[in-house]
Structure 1
Amino acid sequence: MFIFSRVQVIYITLSFLLCSETHLIRSAIYKHRVMCRGHSPIRFCPKRYFPVCATNGRTYFNKCVFCLAYRENGGSFIISHFGKC
């Protein structure tokens, strides 16, 4: 039988709330803002696979590839969420 102390229960509850809030805030920020300043304008992107889904319905290999397409299309779409569409 598991018996938790008050401190453990408070710690678990606060940890859960912090993780949930962080996830919600991260989704809200990236859904409306596109930050492509740090990515190379010379068409060179790292080969790390971290898919990005855009509001145009396409999945991009990573954020750098998304930023290249974003610049080419004049900012006509934004990041919908991280992961495959």
Structure 2
Amino acid sequence: MKCQITETGYLQIPSEIAQRYFATGAVIAILDEHDLLIMPVNYVGAGGLILKYRNAKGDRSVLVSELLPDDVDYGPRTVEWDENALALRIPLYVK
């Protein structure tokens, strides 16, 4: 699975990932060492960050710039669903 962190501080999520894990359209984002964790919120009224539609295909984006360290590597990422954390795990640095 692939996502992208843009230089403007957005996390871009393909529609397939957004529909599978983030159906409500709201998420919580937290830092976990060198990873960004994106967790679904049960319903939009509970708060969190809103996933915005990027295009008609259903790709989504969420502004995470406030959480990103100054030295983050921008660009595409291979991401994975972390069943223990119930979150999408996005590495902040490219190896």
TM-score per shorter chain, which class? under 0.3
The structure that has the greater radius of gyration is: 1
- RCO higher in 1 or 2 (8 Å CA, sep ≥ 6)? 2
Identify the structure with the greater helix proportion: 1
TM-score calculated relative to the size of structure 2: 0.21
TM-score calculated relative to the size of structure 1: 0.22
Identify the structure with the greater strand proportion: 2
